[in-house]
Structures are given as structure tokens and as C-alpha cells.
Structure 1
Amino acid sequence: MRTTPMSFIRPLNMLCLLSLAFSTAGYAAPIADRQPEVSQDIVVTDARGKVIRLSKPAQTIIALAPHIVENVYSAGAGDKLIAAVNYSNYPAAALKLPQVGGYNAINYEEVLARKPDLVLGWISGNGPQVAAQLERLGMTVYVDELRTLDDIADEVMTIGKLAGTEAIANQRAHQWQQQLNQLRERYSNAKTVSVFYQVWNSPLQTLNGQHLVSDVMKLCGGENIFADALSIAPKINEESVISRNPDAIIASGMGEERPEWLDTWKQYPKLTAVQQQNLFFIPPDIIQRHTLRILDGARLMCEYLQTAREK
């Protein structure tokens, strides 16, 4: 009987052991069976249609408009704000933030010196050139342009995504959306009331149909008499208001107090709004700012228009 030399058996056994090791512990699936790697980047699209990509949630944020500052806090990311602009007065913590100019006069050097992970801007307020300049300086910039009430909830959730606070942001946005929908249901079939919304008296200024305030009017069954104006915040004259004869006049002003100039319309007694005593006031911070607080202003407007409707 022939025997196999031991010198041949040992290499053969070693080869078998190596084959077994690779076939169990080190098995690699065929290329066709491998799952593609999933990107962990945060990706959103801003109001310019530009894709904004972050490799991780932003830890340092600069907001270039008061309403954006407020929305960052609503999204649960207020502790990540390192600077804002003037008139950023809500919530109270925002008053302590360093300022990098005004929303329409940004201090680029201040922004650059603070080295934020993310800058949040506003197209119509800052101007499109601001975002472009900050991007040339190497900043990552997301810009908004909120025109409807639903846009506000979307912005809060987007900021939550960018800042890594989605759980808080989504919860607050959804709760707010539910309250908004309740108002819609209540006034969806209400009789239309024509409205003149007065931003200021000298020069006489209003807002057109593209502004968020017009969407609040629609929510309440109101119709903006200057919805067709070309400019988003047109300057007008008294004759144009008289000729359109609104059922109600709602003024904003600059602060929490009813402006005295609202009563100057009483010198035009033929106006329906004057005859029916439908001269109303809503503080600008809760009606002209694109934030969750606008629901407070919306409730007031709905109540005022219902009063005018019943008359």
C-alpha cells in the first residue's frame, strides 16, 4: 500500500484550513449583492432652488432677519445662534445675541469673523446679492421667502433638519398646523369682506397679494383690495383707497399701540369701513412677521372680519 509523504500532507492541510477560514470569517458578498452606501449628508433646497448640503448638523448659526431668528428658536435650535440682526426682539433671549448689522445692511466682516457653520438669509429682505456675496466668502447660506402660512411650518421643520433638532421642530410645526387648519375650517365658507391693510401712513403704504398678510386675509374670508399691485409693498394714495371702498381697514404701525393715524380715515365718512366703524389694529409683530406667532394675528384678523361681516 502506497503512503502519502508527510511533507505533502502538511501543506495540503494548511491550504484546507486557510480556505475554511476565508469561507467563514472573511466571506465577502458578490459585488451585485452589496448594498450601496447611504449618504449621511443633510440636504435641503432653499427659496432660490439651490441645494444646500451639510455633512453634519450646523452647530453655529447666524440669522439675517428677525423672523428667521424667531423660527430658529421655534425649531429648538436657539442655543446654536451666535449672531442676528437688529430688531430681533423675540423671544427675550434673542435680545442678547450679537448683531451683524440690519436685515437690509449686513456687516460682512462681522459675519465672516464669527465663522458660522450656516447662515440663514431672506431674499426679499436682505436682497439676493447678500447670499451671493457670503457664498463667495466661503459661507454656506440657506435663504427663505415665505409667502403662505404653510411655508412657515415648512421653514421651522427645515431649520430643525439643518440644526439637528428635527424632533422638536416637527412636533411644534405639526401642532401649529393643526391649529391653522381649525381656523381654515371655521372660516372656509365665510362671506367675503374687502380689506385695506395699511402698513404706514406717510407715505401711505400697503401690501399686495403676494405678501403673507394676504394669505391671512384669505384664511379669514377677506380679500385684499390691492392684491393686484405690482410691488409687494406699494406706496399708494388716499384716492385709490376711496375708489376701492373697503369694508374694513386694518392697520399695523410700528409697535404694540394702535396708531393715531388710523383715525384719519374718519374724515372720509362715505367709506364703508368708516360708516360701519370697521377700523381695526393688529400689532405688526404678530401679523407681518413670518413666524408661528402669526397665528395670534390671524385669530385677531378673523375676529375683526367676522365683526365687519355681521354688520
Structure 2
Amino acid sequence: MSLRNAFALVFGFVAAHAHAITVTDDSGAAVTLAKPAERVVSLAPHVTELLFAAGGGARIVGAVTYSDYPKQAQTIPRVGDNRALDLERIVALHPDLIVVWRHGNAARQMDRLQALGVPIYFSEPKHLDDIATSIDKLGALLSTREEARASSNAFTRDIAQLRARYAERPRVSVFYQVWDDPLMTLNRDNVFDEVIGLCGGVNVFAAEKTRVPTLSTEAVLAANPEAIVTSTPGATKPDRPLPALERWQRWTSMTAVARGNLFGIDGDLINRPTPRLALGAAQLCRDLEIARERRAKN
């Protein structure tokens, strides 16, 4: 091979890789694309929201059930749900990037997805800062950095404003009821625990070893939280009963019940690590402020 041909070969290799994009996903793995993603499959509702926030909504060619926000997401073709994926349909969509929920998608199908040879980005933001970082990283993979940065900056600003307003308020002990039968909550290893702290609350089961521990009624009574919070299907009006929390009404000596501090927040605003979590956080902060105001009346 002549020197000229060797130089041309090396130059061609460098040129081909000059625009490669590499980011680190939430599993710690490097994800590299030779060029910005044009056809993306989203395998979690929160991922779909993050992609839209990053400016890539129009590039999502497939999404799972419950990918319903923003409104445009409802028209995206479905490729399964968190229990079962339609791998044949995913292949037929010819994606150049697949974004999955690290602990939400069926583990047995991950190996088959990886065998497709399509770059996979694992998404699981565990902290508020991770949400903004995730938007920026997806923006890098899509080459929509400016729109992504605008979204991540807005989220960071909203959270900072809530923290400045509420984080130094008197503490309120909080039981977050994830599910009522069996009775379940969250420990500190999740983003909503951070939201509770942001609002000046204290998660009474933060120290549990299991990320989503199952509890007894007696354990909650012993913790005697000042407020009980649960997610609801849609926004909850103050005068609307909360069926998931009715079980506590008989325990009138518990502080949360005695003071009427049983709160429901739209589940999509508090269960998805997306920019809308700032709205859920604002609602929780207002609810905990109500709990503080009720102290003077009791």
C-alpha cells in the first residue's frame, strides 16, 4: 500500500468517526452513535416524556403502552408494555436507538434486544439532578442540544425555586403510600424521597433496606406520620374522597388522620422522573404547608 493510499485510508476512518456521539447512560455504560438518532424506540412512558423534552418527539417511531404525554405521544405506534415487548415490530421499525427503563422492562427480553445490534440507552433517573442530565444526554444523542438545554434549565430552575422556598420549613413526617394492598412504600433510594425532603418533609420509611418495602398497618401506626400521601389517577380535589387512603380513617389517633392530612397527587406527576415532577413537587410542597398550618389548630 502506498503512503498516499494509507493516508487516505486513515483520513477516511477519522472523518467517519469525527462526528460520533458518546454519552454515558444510567447503567454506567457508554452509548455511541455514528450520527444523531433519527428513529428512536421508547420502552417506558417516562422515556417518551424525556425524549419530547429533549426535542426528539418527532423521531420516536415506537413507544410502549401509557406513553401518553404530551398529547402527540398518544399517536405513536405501540410496541408492547413493561411486561412484554413486540420484538418483531421493533425490528420492523428499523430504529437506530432504543431507550429502555433499566428496571422496568422485562429482563428476559433485554438480551434479545441487545442481540439486535441497535444502540441501547438505559434510563433510570434516581435523583432530581439526573432528570436534567438525562434530557441533556438524550439531546446530545439526537443532536437537539439547544432545545434539550432549554428544557433541562427550566426544570432545574423550577426545582431550585421550590427548594429555596420550602426546604428550610419546619419538618413534616410523611408516609408515601405507593400501593394499598399489599401496603407498600419507598425508601430513600428513589427520586420521590428527594422531593419529600425538598418540601421540608421526612420520609418515615427512608431507612428501609428494600427499595419498595411491603409494610404492615402496625408499622405505619408506630411511625405515626403527620401526613400520608398517595398517587391518584388524575388531579384530586380537596373535597374528593381518596379510596386508597380510606383504610386509615379508623385510626383516629394517628396524627395524619386526626388532622385530616391525607393527600392525593396525580400519579403521573410524582411517579415519572420527568420535567413534570416539578409540578408534582409543587403540589406536595403545598400539601405539607397545609399540614403545618393545621398544627396551630390542634
Q: TM-score, normalised by structure 1?
A: 0.84
Match of 1:290 in 2: 273
- Shift in alpha-carbon separation, 1:53–1:142, aligned structure 2, 3 A: same
Match of 1:78 in 2: 57
Q: 1:68, 1:201 → 2: CA distance?
A: 26
Q: Is 1:170 the counterpart of 2:153 in the alignment?
A: no
Q: Is 1:299 the counterpart of 2:282 in the alignment?
A: yes
| Cα drift, residue 256 of structure 1 | 4.0
Q: 1:172, 1:137 → 2: CA distance?
A: 32
- The answer on whether the counterparts of 1:131 and 1:141 sit within 8 Å (CA) in structure 2 is no
Equivalent residue letter for 1:294? L
Match of 1:179 in 2: 158
Match of 1:189 in 2: 168
Larger Rg: 1
- The answer on whether the counterparts of 2:185 and 2:212 sit within 8 Å (CA) in structure 1 is yes
Count of matched residue positions in the alignment of Structure 1 and Structure 2: 276
Residues 102-155 of structure 1 deviation map (CA, whole Å, 9 limit, x = unaligned): 023222222122110000011111155544431222121000111111111111
Deviates more, 1:213-222 or 1:97-106: 97-106
Match of 1:309 in 2: 292
- The answer on whether the counterparts of 2:56 and 2:144 sit within 8 Å (CA) in structure 1 is yes
CA RMSD, aligned part only? 1.7
Match of 2:253 in 1: 270
Q: 2:216, 2:115 → 1: CA distance?
A: 42
Match of 2:121 in 1: 142
Equivalent residue letter for 1:295? A
Q: 1:150, 1:130 → 2: CA distance?
A: 29
- The answer on whether the counterparts of 2:234 and 2:265 sit within 8 Å (CA) in structure 1 is no
What SS does structure 1 have at the residue aligned with 2:279?
helix
Match of 1:202 in 2: 181
Equivalent residue letter for 2:40? I
Alignment of 1:112-127 (within 5 A): 112-127=91-106
Q: 1:188, 1:199 → 2: CA distance?
A: 23
Q: 1:106, 1:187 → 2: CA distance?
A: 42
Match of 1:50 in 2: 29
Match of 1:250 in 2: 229
Extract unaligned runs of 5+ from structure 1: 1-35
Q: 1:131, 1:215 → 2: CA distance?
A: 29
What SS does structure 2 have at the residue aligned with 1:105?
coil
| Cα drift, residue 232 of structure 1 | 2.0
| Cα drift, residue 261 of structure 1 | 2.9
Q: TM-score, normalised by structure 2?
A: 0.88
| Cα drift, residue 234 of structure 1 | 2.1
Equivalent residue letter for 2:119? T
Extract unaligned runs of 5+ from structure 2: 1-13
Equivalent residue letter for 2:280? G
What SS does structure 2 have at the residue aligned with 1:101?
coil
- The answer on whether the counterparts of 1:278 and 1:308 sit within 8 Å (CA) in structure 2 is yes
- Shift in alpha-carbon separation, 1:129–1:170, aligned structure 2, 3 A: farther
| Fraction of identical pairs, as percent | 38
- The answer on whether the counterparts of 2:82 and 2:106 sit within 8 Å (CA) in structure 1 is no
Q: 2:187, 2:106 → 1: CA distance?
A: 19
- Shift in alpha-carbon separation, 1:288–1:265, aligned structure 2, 3 A: same
Equivalent residue letter for 1:228? A
Q: 2:110, 2:60 → 1: CA distance?
A: 18
Deviates more, 1:272-281 or 1:202-211: 202-211
What SS does structure 2 have at the residue aligned with 1:309?
helix
